[in-house]
A and B are shown apart, each in its own frame.
Chain A
Amino acid sequence: MIGRYLVRFSALGYVAVILVAPVALIFWRAFEHGLGPFWAAITTPDALHALKLTLELAVVAVPLNTAFGIACAIAIVRYRMPGGGLVNAIVDLPLALSPVVVGLSLYLLYARDGWFGGWLTRHGVQMLFAYPAMLLAMLFISLPFVVREVVPVLREIGIDQEEAAATLGSSAFTTFRKVTIPAIRWAVTYGVVLTTARCLGEFGAVSIVSGGIAGRTQVLTQYVQASYENFNLTGAYAASVVLAGLAIATLVAMTIVRPKEERSGNRDA
C-alpha cells in the first residue's frame, strides 16, 4: 500500500514540477492584470502579423502534407516500391532529426552559393528570409504525421473491398473516393490535427531560414522569443498563451477523434 502511494505521488509530483506548474503560471502571468493588457499585447501590429503569417503558412503546408501523406501511405502499403523500407525510414526522419539541422539544410540549399540558390537568385526568386523557405521548413518538419496515422489503417483494412469495387466496374478513382477514403477518414483527421499543431509550433527550422524580421518574416513562435529577449515579458507571455491555447485545442481534438478509431479497431498504437 505504501509502495503504491509512493509511486503515485512521485509520478504526480514529477508532472506537477516539470509540466503543470510552469504552464499554469504562464496563464496566470498573462492574465494577472486582467484581460486588457493581454488583449493589448496580442493586438500589436507585430504580434498580429506574426499570428497571420503563422496561419497563412500552416494553411498551405497542412493540405500539401495531407495529400502527400495519403499518397505516400498508399504507395508504402499497396504498391511494391523500389526501396520501400528506405522510404519508410526517410518518412520517420523528421521525427528524430533536430529542427536546426532541417533549417540548416534548407539554408545551404537555397543560399546564393547553394545548389538551387544561385540559379533561383539569378531568376529573381527569393527563397531564404522569405515565405518560400519558411514553408519548406514547415513541410519538412510536419511530413510524417499523416503517413504514420494512415499506414496502419490501410494495412488493417486490406484490399478485399477495393478489389470488390473494381470487380463491380468501379474506376480506380471511384474506388478510392468511395471505399478507401471513408475507411481512412479518421486516421487522416487525426494526422491533420497533429500536422497542424506541429506547423503552428514550428520554431527551430523556421528561425534559421526566416531571418525573423518583426512584422515581415516572423512567425508567432519567433515573436515569443524576440519579445522575451527584448524584455517584453507581457508580449511573450500573451503570445505564449495564444499558442498554448491552440495546443490545448489540439489535445481536445485528439481525444475527440481518437476513441472513434479505437472503436472501429483500426488504431495501431
Chain B
Amino acid sequence: MPRARRRALGAPALTTGLTLAYLSVIVLIPLAAVVAKATAGGWHHFWQVAWNPEAKAALELTLELAGLVVLVNAVFGTALAWTLVRDEFPGRNLLNSIIDLPFALPTIVAGLTLLALYGPTGGLGVNIAYTRAGVLMALLFVTLPFVVRTVQPVLLELDKEMEEAAASLGAGRFTVFRRIIFPNLFPALLSGVALAFARALGEFGAVVLIAGNIPFKTEVASVYVYQHVSSDDPTGAAALAVVLLVISLGVLLAIGAVRRWATRHDR
C-alpha cells in the first residue's frame, strides 16, 4: 500500500512542516526579537527600563482600567446576554447583530465615533478627550461583545426546570439567580471577562485619539510602547512590550485552564 503509506508520512510531514515554518516566520521569530531586544542588556537592566516611573505609571493605569472593564462587562455583559436570551421585545434580533459590531468595526473608527459624540465638538457639554474616563469608555466599546458572546450560549442551554424547582421550593428570584443561575454561568463569565481583560490591556487604536500623549495621566501601556518606538527608544518600548506579552500569555493559559475546569465540571 504505497499510497496509504505516503498519506501517513509524506503529506502530514509537509503540511506540518509548512505550518510550523509559517508560524515561525510570522509570529515566533518577531516575538523572539522583542524579547531579545528587551533583555539584551541583562535582566537587571531590563527591570530598570521596564520599571521606570513613566512605564510603571502606564502599566498601573492600564491594569486599573482593565480591572474596571472586567467589572463593568461582568454586570452589563450578563444583563445583555440575559436580555437577549430570556427577554422578548421588538428589535431583539437587531440588538443581537449589533452586539458584534465592535468586533467588525476598525478600532480607530471606534475611538473617533466616541470623540464625535462625547468629545469637544459633540455638543453634549462633556469632553472625554485626554481623560481617563474617555479611555475607559473606548475600552468598554471594544470589549462589549466578549462577555455577552460567552455567557449567551450557556444561558440558552440552561435547564429552566432547575429554576422552577427552586422557585417551587420557595426560593425568591434573587436566590434563584444567586444559587442556580450564577454558578452555572460562572465559568463562561470568567472566560468572557478574561478575554475582555486581555483586549483592554493591549488596545491601541480605540484609545490613541482619546488618550493623546500625556505621560502619567492618560498614557496606557500600548500608547507608551508606540510613543517610545516613534521617539527612537526601541529598548524602552521592548521592555514594556515583554511585560504585556507575558501578561497576555498568562491570560490565555488561564482561559484554557478555566475551559478545561468547566468541561470537567459537566461530566
A255–B97 contact, CB under 8 A? yes
- B116 part of interface (Cβ distance < 8 Å): yes
Roughly how many angstroms separate A114 CA and B234 CA in the complex, as a whole number?
A: 11
Roughly how many angstroms separate A2 CA and B257 CA in the complex, as a whole number?
A: 38
B205–A71 contact, CB under 8 A? no
A26 contact set on B, CB distance < 8 A: 109, 112-113, 116
- B30 part of interface (Cβ distance < 8 Å): yes
The interface residues of chain B, by DSSP majority, are classed as: helix
B226–A100 contact, CB under 8 A? yes
B34–A247 contact, CB under 8 A? no
Central interface residue in A7, A91, A94, A98, by most chain B CB within 10 Å: A98
The interface residues of chain A, by DSSP majority, are classed as: helix
- A248 part of interface (Cβ distance < 8 Å): yes
B19–A68 contact, CB under 8 A? yes
Partner of A92, one of B173, B199, B252: B252
A200 contact set on B, CB distance < 8 A: 106
Using C-beta atoms within 8 Å of the partner chain, give the interface range for chain A. Answer: 35 or more
Mark interface residues in B218-238 (1 if CB within 8 Å of A CB, else 0): 000110011001100010011
Roughly how many angstroms separate A12 CA and B137 CA in the complex, as a whole number?
A: 16
Using C-beta atoms within 8 Å of the partner chain, give the interface range for chain B. Answer: 35 or more
A114 contact set on B, CB distance < 8 A: 33
A244–B105 contact, CB under 8 A? yes
Contact A90-B7, Cβ < 8 Å, known A104-B34, A203-B108, A254-B100: no
Central interface residue in B16, B23, B106, B208, by most chain A CB within 10 Å: B106
Give the distance to chain B from A137, nearest Cβ to Cβ, in Å.
Answer: 9
A25–B19 contact, CB under 8 A? no
Q: List, sorted by A's number, 18 A–B pairs whose CB atoms are closer than 8 Å.
A: A11-B80, A23-B101, A23-B105, A79-B12, A89-B249, A93-B27, A96-B248, A99-B204, A136-B26, A140-B26, A172-B3, A203-B106, A203-B205, A204-B222, A221-B107, A224-B112, A247-B104, A255-B97
